[in-house]
Amino acid sequence: MILKILGNNGPYPAPGGACSGYLLTSDSGDTRILIDCGTGVLNRLMDEGGPASLDAVILSHLHYDHMSDMLPMQYALQFHPRPRPLPVYAPDEPEAVYALLKAPCFDLWEARDATIGEMRVSFTPACHPVPTNAIAVECDGARFVFTGDSNQDALVELFCEGASLLLADCGLSEADHKFTAPHYSARLCGELAKNTRAGRLLLTHLNPKYDPQALLAEARTAFPAAELAELGETYYI
Ligand SMILES: [Zn+2]
Ligand SMILES: [Zn+2]
C-alpha cells in the first residue's frame, strides 16, 4: 500500500498546513481510499485526482478537523460526477454534523468491517469525547492502523497489534497530558508502538502550538524509530 499524507495537524491547521487526511492506494493503484477529510485536505486531494478518483472515504469521527472539507467536496462532486455516489463510512453522531453529510453525492455507511476493492477495513471504538473509531486497513500483505483521535485504551492497544505502519494521534505533549485527555501524548504514542510491536510509527494530529521536533524527541524516548507524518510525503507500507 502507499500512504500519502494530505493533512497532519489538529485541531486547527498550521500556516500552509492541513488537518487530518490520509490517502491510501493499493500497490496496483486500483483501490484508493481517503481516511479523514479535515481542513485543507480537499485542495491536496484535487492534486491527487480529486474525490471522483476515490473508492470510499472513511471518517474516524465527526469533529470538524477530521471532516470539514467533506462540505465543499459535495460541490467538487457536482462538477466531477462519479457513476455512483461516493461511499462514506462514518459514525452517525453528533447528529447535527452527520446531517451535513446527507447529500445525494454521498452513500453513507455504518463504520463496520468492510471490503473496499482490494482493501479489508476494520474498526474499533477509540477513547474520545464523541464516537470515534481506530481504523485498520489490510492490503498487499500489510496492515496499516490509524488510532483516530484517542487516549490510552486497552481495546485500541489490542487493535494496533502488529501494524506494519502505525499512524498515531500525537495531539499532546507529555506535560499537557492527563488521564482524561482526548489524545495520546507523544511519549504514549511511542509506548503504544513499542507495546504493539509496530513496524513503523508516524506521529500525526500535530498541534501547531508545539514544536514538532520536541514531540518527536519525546516519542523516541519510547520508540527510537518514531517519525513525524510529513505533509505531502509518501510512505510505502
Ligand atoms: Zn482531532
Ligand atoms: Zn477529535
Give the CATH superfamily of 2-236. Answer: Ribonuclease Z/Hydroxyacylglutathione hydrolase-like (3.60.15.10)
Residue 44 CA to ligand 2 center (angstroms) comes to 21
Residue 198 CA to ligand 2 center (angstroms) comes to 23
Residue 131: exposure state from Cβ atoms within 10 A (0-12, 13-18, ≥19): middle
Residue 83 CA to ligand 1 center (angstroms) comes to 32
Q: Give this prediction's pTM.
A: 0.98
What's the pLDDT score for residue 173? 98
Of all ligands present, the nearest one to the C-alpha of 131 is 2
51: nearest Cα among 77, 90, 78, 72: 77
Of all ligands present, the nearest one to the C-alpha of 13 is 1
Residue 66 CA to ligand 1 center (angstroms) comes to 6
Residue 83 CA to ligand 2 center (angstroms) comes to 32
Q: What is the pLDDT of residues 54-96, one digit of tens each?
A: 999 999 999 999 999 999 999 999 999 899 999 999 999 999 9
Q: What is the pLDDT of residues 28-49, one digit of tens each?
A: 999 999 999 999 999 999 999 9
Q: Please state, in angstroms and rounded to a whole number, the distance separating the CA atoms of residues 237 and 221.
A: 24
Residue 28 CA to ligand 1 center (angstroms) comes to 31
Q: What is the pLDDT of residues 176-234, one digit of tens each?
A: 999 999 999 999 999 999 999 999 999 999 999 999 999 999 999 999 999 999 999 99
Q: What is the pLDDT of residues 107-150, one digit of tens each?
A: 999 999 999 999 999 999 999 999 999 999 999 999 999 999 99
Q: Please state, in angstroms and rounded to a whole number, the distance separating the CA atoms of residues 178 and 181.
A: 5
Q: Please state, in angstroms and rounded to a whole number, the distance separating the CA atoms of residues 28 and 109.
A: 25
Which grid coordinates belong to 198?
A: 509496530
Of all ligands present, the nearest one to the C-alpha of 94 is 2
What's the pLDDT score for residue 24? 98
Q: Sign (positive/negative) of CA torsion 110, 142, 164, 230?
A: negative
Q: Please state, in angstroms and rounded to a whole number, the distance separating the CA atoms of residues 100 and 70.
A: 9
Residue 43 CA to ligand 2 center (angstroms) comes to 21
Strand partners, 142: 139
Which grid coordinates belong to 91?
A: 459514525
